[in-house]
């Protein structure tokens, strides 16, 4: 069952996930910098919002990419920053990226078994 963890930047999402899974950082795919072709080797994905940005920059369908990933990794854990709050960016690309993160996460949450929001290291179960 896919588990999704969301929350603001630097709120303790990764630390919480690692504790829940009894895992080390070496078992986590970093969407900000790891080679995208190696994603299948991992079941914990951190910085999903930045992975989506990278996929969009490569003109790939990020929604289909992540849907396929969770189909092949039904026990995956996805960790994503909330990026839709606050000031609306002036740059069209930034607005598009935020919208895509929101839409893709909504799609993924529909089929997730668990969803938790982390604030100041404290989990709040949403689903």
- The DSSP result for 29-86, as a single string, is EETTTS-GGGGGG-SEEE-HHHHHHHHHHTT--HHHHHHHHHHH-TT-EEEEE--SSS
7 φψ region: left (φ > 0), alpha (ψ -120 to 50), beta (else): left
pLDDT-based confidence at 89, cuts 50/70/90? confident
Structure pTM? Answer: 0.94
| pLDDT tens-place string over residues 25-80 | 999 999 999 999 999 999 999 999 999 999 999 999 999 999 999 999 999 999 99
Q: How far apart are CA 124 and CA 118, in angstroms?
A: 6
pLDDT bracket for residue 87 (50, 70, 90):
confident
CATH architecture of 3-125: 3-Layer(aba) Sandwich (3.40)
Q: Tokens standing for 22?
A: 């009894």
């Amino acid at each position: 069952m896919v588990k999704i963890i969301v929350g603001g930047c630097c709120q303790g999402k990764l630390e919480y996930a690692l504790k829940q899974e009894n895992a080390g950082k070496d078992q986590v795919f970093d969407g900000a910098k790891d080679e995208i072709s190696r994603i299948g080797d991992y079941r914990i994905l951190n910085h999903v919002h930045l992975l989506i940005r990278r996929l969009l920059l490569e003109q790939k369908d990020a929604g289909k990419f992540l849907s396929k990933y969770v189909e092949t990794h039904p026990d995956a854990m996805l960790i994503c920053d909330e990026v839709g709050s606050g000031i609306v960016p002036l740059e069209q690309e930034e607005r598009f990226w935020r919208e895509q993160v929101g839409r893709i996460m909504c799609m993924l949450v529909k089929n997730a078994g668990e969803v938790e929001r982390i604030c100041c290291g404290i989990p709040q179960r949403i689903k």
